[in-house]
């Protein structure tokens, strides 16, 4: 049985170039650009001063917990 999802079309993230089908995140930089969820997390972490290496680790952890 497939859950009825609000129709989300695949989109390409302008930040990392990845095609994603998850609910997009709105960029904090301009409030309109739609990013993939990963980049949304990256921006959020960046805004609180988390370095790129740590951002990667956190995103990997999130993916692992979703698998």
Q: For binding to Zn ion (CB under 5 A), which residues are involved?
A: 13, 15-16, 36, 39
- Closer to Zn ion by CB, 4 or 31: give it: 31
Closest contact distance (angstroms) between CB of 36 and Zn ion is 4
| ∠ Cα 54 16 18 (to 5°) | 115
Identity of the residue, 12 or 51, whose beta carbon is nearer to Zn ion in the bound complex: 12
Whose Cβ is closer to Zn ion: residue 13's or residue 55's? 13
The contacts of residue 53 (CB under 8 Å, 6+ apart) are none
Q: Is 64 helix (H, G, I), strand (E, B) or coil?
A: helix
């Amino acid at each position: 049985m497939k859950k009825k999802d609000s129709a989300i079309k695949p989109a390409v993230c302008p930040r990392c170039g990845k095609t994603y089908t998850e609910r997009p995140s709105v960029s904090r930089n301009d409030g309109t650009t739609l990013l993939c969820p990963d980049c949304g997390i990256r921006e959020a972490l960046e805004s609180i001063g988390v370095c790129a290496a740590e951002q990667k680790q956190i995103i990997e952890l999130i993916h692992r917990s979703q698998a």
